[in-house]
Amino acid sequence: MTGNDKVKIFDTTLRDGEQSPGMSMNLKEKIGMAKQLEKMGVDVIEAGFAISSPGDFTSVKTIAETIKNASVASLARASAGDIDTAWEAVKAAADPRIHLFLATSELHLKYKLNLSEDEVYEMAVAMTKHAAKYTSNVEFSAEDATRSDMDFLARVVSGVIEAGATTINLPDTVGYSTPEEFYNFITEIRKRAPKLEDVVISCHNHNDLGLGVANSLAGVLAGVRQVECTVNGIGERAGNAAMEEIVMALQTRKDLYGADTNVVTTEIMRSSSLLSQITGVKVQPNKAIVGENAFAHESGIHQHGMLKNAETYEIMTPASVGVKDSNLVLGKHSGKHAFEDRLKILGYELSSDELSEAFEKFKELADRKKHVYDKDLEALVSKEAVQVPKTFTLGSFVINSGNEITAMASVKMKKKDEELENVSGGDGPVDAAFKAINKIVGRELELDDYSINSVSEGEDALGDARVVIKTVAGKKYAGRGLSTDVIEASIKSYINAVNKLYYDEHGENEEETMR
């Protein structure tokens, strides 16, 4: 190690991350997330698995056409059809990459592929050659590498490098390895496949034993120069190694790793929040780097130490990962310029239409809430970045509820210019309102998850409601709504989820109604 090495960050939030339950995203959300990843400075964005569905193909292609400052990759199995489709999807990118994978462990060969070692070897080499006809930016992943026979793995790795692979990924697919073992594994494979010295060695560590990040860092010590990871650590089963933890570990312990990344760390928090807003899945409060409590000091002794010298209990500053102090900033008398200036300080550059829309919302909020904090502004604005068309909007609602009566909700909504209204009883005011919306849109939607939290402090705090709704077919959509009134926030979150469902089923300009 030179002491100044760069470790590439290969972000697979939109592929491995999106593959996990409850994390699916629509096209707009994927584009919004990809732009944020680009802003954060990741080196490679794995945009999806182009052949897996027409929707995936479109999103990989659109991301490839949109992103200019990161390589855009599509996953492909080791088959010509997959590789051709992956290339079709990424070829317009500024720096397209084909990422093909084939399992190398005995278990996978026997039970999944039903192929011999020789057959897998031939297939890996032939398909790498096929991919290399399109581009020199070819990554080969030996799925389940850590449970593979070392001699066979070395043979495959050497073969695919000769065939044109320029990045070799050695995944711990089932999160079985431990840090010491993974260090030895990378060291050993480098000895057995000397051609690895001519390419980028990559790792992809799943988190089944909670060791995804530790294993990735051990990999870096052993010579890995690309780490595959996801924002908030989302991914199959227990997830993938968390991007924010790897990046901050490398930065904070540069003395140990002698390697750094290109990530703009001040964008980490925004990436994390954007992802949880999109998916409706919050990160646990004590999650390293991006959890609500990651920089909270509760005990008196710690607070005392912090006041004397922050380094007593803080190994990195909140500001370094983009956590802002929630200072009082704006109020109802603040004008558009002050609003725009503050957003710029927070890092949001909105188009003039977006700014006008956000300012309207800010004014509504400032009328109801005396103190508008940075957190409130971020909650208002970051959501705008990935909004689906607002086919349905809330008009008004009336709730009749009490502890001795059945709650009743009357909800008025608009579908474009059409006024819609319905009434329902329910198990409490929120349930009644959701049922009234179901009647309005003519769907039997089930509430799969619901939570409400406050964005900032104070009695008039902004309520942040999140729902996940489920269709009869089992498809899930997350929604989010903000208001100082918790029932209104809840209704808005439900309508937001319905709009996502509508967008998914009907696209951008579909006139047909859902009713």
Q: Which residues bind Zn ion (CB under 5 A)?
A: 16
The reply to whether 204 sits near ligand KIV by the rule CB under 6 A is yes
Q: Which of residues 388-417 bind ligand KIV (CB under 6 A)?
A: none
Tokens of 455: 């964005």
- Rounded Cα–Cα distance for residues 420 and 466 (Å): 23
In the list 7, 9, 16, 257, the residue contacting ligand KIV (rule: CB under 6 A) is 16
Shortest Å, Cβ 229 to Zn ion: 10
Rounded to a whole number of angstroms, the minimum distance from the CB of residue 284 to Zn ion is: 21
The answer to whether residue 61 forms part of the interface with ligand KIV (CB under 6 A) is no
The Cα 37–Cα 505 span in angstroms is 27
The secondary structure of residue 70, as a DSSP letter, is: S
Closest to 44 (Cα-Cα) out of 232, 218, 226, 172: 226
Asked if 161 and 133 count as a contact pair (C-beta separation under 8 A), the reply is no
Distance CA 152, CA 465 (A): 52
Give the CB-side neighbour count of residue 407, counting CA atoms within 13 A: 19
Question: Using an 8 Å Cβ cutoff, are 204 and 169 in contact?
Answer: yes
Are 494 and 469 in contact by the 8 Å Cβ rule? The answer is yes
143 contact, one of ligand KIV, Zn ion, none, CB 5-8 Å limit per kind: ligand KIV
The gap from C-alpha 107 to its chain's centroid, in whole angstroms, comes to: 31
Go through 24-45 and write b for each residue having 16 or more CB atoms within 10 A of its CB, e for each that does not: bbbbbbbbbbbbbbbebbbbbb
In the complex, least distance from residue 77 CB atom to ligand KIV, rounded to whole angstroms: 9
User: Which element (helix H / strand E) includes 152?
Assistant: helix 150-163
Q: Of these partners, ligand KIV, Zn ion, none, which one is at the site of residue 383 (CB under 5 to 8 Å by kind)?
A: none
Four-point Cα dihedral 61, 64, 65, 70, nearest 10: 170
Q: Which residue is nearest to Zn ion (CB)?
A: 16
C-alpha distances out from residue 58 to 90, 178, 494, Å: 10, 38, 27
- HSE at residue 151, side-chain half, CA atoms within 13 A, is 2
Which of ligand KIV, Zn ion, none binds 101 (CB below 5-8 Å, type-dependent)?
Answer: ligand KIV
Is 16 or 43 the residue whose CB approaches ligand KIV more closely?
16
Q: Quick one: what does residue 141 bind among Zn ion, ligand KIV, none, with the CB cut-off 5 to 8 Å set by partner type?
A: ligand KIV
**Residue 230 binds ligand KIV (CB under 6 A):** no
Binding of ligand KIV by 11 (CB under 6 A)? no
| Residue 108 binding: pick among ligand KIV, Zn ion, none (C-beta 5-8 Å cut-off by kind) | none
| 52 binds, options ligand KIV, Zn ion, none, Cβ within 5 to 8 A by partner type | none
Query: In the complex, what is the shortest distance from the CB of residue 245 to ligand KIV, in angstroms, rounded to a whole number?
Result: 18
Nearer to Zn ion, 17 or 481 (CB): 17
Among ligand KIV, Zn ion, none, residue 359 binds (CB under 5-8 Å by kind): none
| DSSP-based three-state secondary structure for 514 | coil
Q: How far is CA 209 from the centre of its chain?
A: 21
Please report how close the Cβ of residue 143 comes to Zn ion at its closest, in angstroms.
8
Q: Which is nearer to ligand KIV, 75 or 379 (CB)?
A: 75
Footprint of ligand KIV on 326-365 (CB under 6 A): none
CB of 173 to ligand KIV, least distance (A): 4
| Binding-site string for ligand KIV from residue 164 to residue 193, where x marks contact by CB under 6 A and - marks none | -----x-x-x--------------------
Site string for ligand KIV, 80-119 (x = CB under 6 A): ---------------------x------------------
Instruction: Name the nearest CA neighbour of 26 among 510, 508, 509, 512.
Output: 508
The minimum distance between CB 91 and Zn ion, in angstroms, equals 24
Interface mask toward ligand KIV for 126-145; x: CB under 6 A = ---------------x-x--
Amino acid type, 400: N
The alpha-helical segments, DSSP class H, found in 234-351 are 243-252, 254-257, 268-279, 300-308, 336-345
- Name which of 170 and 385 has its Cβ closer to Zn ion: 170
- Please work out the total of residues on this chain that contact ligand KIV, with binding judged by CB under 6 A: 10
Angstrom distance (rounded) from CA 94 to CA 45: 12
Which residues of this protein are in contact with ligand KIV, per CB under 6 A?
Answer: 16, 75, 101, 141, 143, 169, 171, 173, 204, 206
